[in-house]
Amino acid sequence: MSPFNFMEKLLDGVEVEWTALGTVSNILRGRRLTKIQLSDSEKFPVFHGGLDPLGYYGQGNRPANTVMIINVGASAGTVGYSVVDFWSSDGCFCIEHNDSLNNRFLYYALIGHQQLLRSRVRVAGIPTLDAIVVEKLQIPIPCPENPKKSLEIQSEIVRILDAFTELTAELTAELTAELTARKKQYHYYRDQLLSFEDGEVEWKTLGEVTLPTSNIRWRDTDRSYRYIDLTSVSRENNTIIETSEITAKNAPSRAQKLVEKDDIIFATTRPTQLRLSLINEEYSGEVASTGYCVLRAKSDVILPKWIYYHLLSSEFGNYVEENQIGAAYPAISDTKVKEFKMPIPYPNDPEKSLAEQASIVTILDKFDALTNSISEGLPREIELRQKQYEHYRDLLLSFSKPEEVGA
């Protein structure tokens, strides 16, 4: 059944009026509190620039079941809903609507506008969403000539969406719990596969099995590079998720380390956060921050992924804990990283050694795909559940606009 046919059955022939949100509501901006005014022991959550409470305050300025839209910062354009009384700062808009709208119906309708809202955020300086953008959003109101029936229709749509939201949350929680268990199992077997008894292998430091790397020389002022800084690498799946473009004219002082395909980069600043990645072809020849230790494997002795997986091991994690220095901003030096000892199987037979490493790496790759890959395994299933939810949410809110009627 098409979205339009589905909605026609639900609406039973009633008309739908599209109206600007500003004509049926007031867009309220809150008042900022200082950090000294906040306390975890107080009752009312304070929202500013995000859907996670900035802190708690002794009173609220907005009632429960209010729809909000974050208007500043990285989360600008995000739609939220509070089920408790709260304090709204000037970092979020709150929607005070008239009796023609159901709170939750409005929330679901605005969720469908999130992509549009985020695209209208002004990014110069602090990202900011203007109230006029929110006021101009077109909101569907079914059966506007009969307010009682209109609210009944809205309530029915909300009932279905709330039930589906709850079901999706339960399924996602189950899958997430299963994923957590799988990861623990994977970490256990990974550590077992990478553990060897004395005499089975030869232990060599990372410095002995890696090659020297070089820093960039900023001679060509016009060429651009992608810059891999400390926030570029995801801690969730160890991939590079976002880079910035730099040239000799605007490169930060820390943009110095040239990386090549199959290099392993490990963040030595706050190292227990484990920002680690294996450079693929896409980022070969780009520039990384000096906050990374760059490890380039001697290909005749050790496989890059052999190093990569050992840096993910509990043994290396413990080594980092013991050798990092500093309290506020702990770090471990490149020198200390390269003193970590790696097991080399069959050290007197390089060909057999590399074959053994490759065999174990293949097993670990399969484990990794099942637990971390967004294209395989449970992460993919979680993503599909969320897309399914979004599809049905959009289906229930797919009212025909005037220009679509008869199209």
Q: What residues does 72 pair with on adjacent strands?
A: 128
pLDDT at 406: 34
pLDDT at 3 over 70: no
Q: Residue 244 is encoded by which pair of tokens?
A: 């910035």
For 92-141, write each residue's pLDDT tens digit: 999 999 989 999 999 999 998 888 999 999 987 788 999 999 999 999 89
- For residue 28, the Cα-to-chain-centroid distance in whole angstroms is 29
pLDDT for the residue numbered 112 = 85
Sequence-ordered list of residues with C-beta below 8 angstroms from that of 272, at least 6 positions apart, any chain: 317, 320, 321, 324, 330
Least confident of 178-187, 242-251, 384-393: 384-393
Average pLDDT for 361-366: 91
Contact predicate 96/73, CB 8 Å: no
Query: Can you identify the CATH homologous superfamily of domain 3-156?
Result: DNA methylase specificity domains (3.90.220.20)
Q: Which residues of 18-46 are buried (b: 16+ CB within 10 A; e: fewer)?
A: ebebeebbebbebeebeeeebeeeeebbb
Which residues of the chain form CATH 3.90.220.20?
3-156, 194-345
Q: How high is the pLDDT of residue 407?
A: 35
- For domain 194-345, give the fold: Adenine-n6-DNA-methyltransferase TaqI; Chain A, domain 2 (3.90.220)
Q: What tokens were used for 95?
A: 């929607």
Report the percent of the chain where pLDDT is more than 70: 92
Residue 309 has a pLDDT of: 95
Encode pLDDT of 27-66 as tens digits. 999 999 988 999 888 999 999 989 999 899 999 999 999 9
Greater pLDDT, 179 or 61: 61
Region 363-383 average pLDDT = 75
The helix (H) or strand (E) run that includes residue 95 is strand 92-97
